[in-house]
Amino acid sequence: MDPQETSIGTIEGVGNFKPVAEGFADAPIQITNLMSLIVGLITIFAGLFFLIIFVAAGVQFITAGGDKQKLETARDKMTTGIVGLVIVIAAYALVGLVGSIFGLDILNPAAMLEQLPGQN
């Protein structure tokens, strides 16, 4: 038997861990999926935060009872909430633009969910 043809076996990964050479090949995809998940979660939390702030300001506006100070405070909260939502939407669009420039699918958190075990 030629020593160059002798096979001593292979290294198999445990769970989602892969051999080093194979793991590095998937690194850009895994980083993209992680970034996608983070951006998606931040966007969801920002949207929920806007909704809570806006509803609370609306209730405060309705219950102000004609008090100019309370009306102004409620209006300021609504304005702040809308400005925050516009910033989140602009940031989301900017992340999408940067992702498309670099060829990354950052704004697709569903891609990561499709790759979970048992989703076939």
Asked if residue 19 belongs to a domain, the reply is: no
Q: How far apart are CA 106 and CA 111, in angstroms?
A: 10
Into how many domains does the chain fold? 1
Asked if residue 117 belongs to a domain, the reply is: no
Asked if residue 1 belongs to a domain, the reply is: no
For residue 90, the enclosing domain spans: 28-112
Task: Return the sign of the alpha-carbon dihedral for residues 113, 115, 116, 120.
Answer: positive
Asked if residue 41 belongs to a domain, the reply is: yes
Q: How far apart are CA 27 and CA 12, in angstroms?
A: 18
Asked if residue 82 belongs to a domain, the reply is: yes
pTM of the model: 0.61
Q: What is the pLDDT of residues 31-57, one digit of tens each?
A: 777 777 788 888 889 999 999 999 999
Q: How many CB atoms lie within 10 A of CB 109?
A: 19
Asked if residue 120 belongs to a domain, the reply is: no
Asked if residue 16 belongs to a domain, the reply is: no
Q: What is the pLDDT of residues 66-83, one digit of tens each?
A: 899 999 999 999 999 999
Are the C-beta atoms of 104 and 32 separated by less than 8 Å?
A: yes
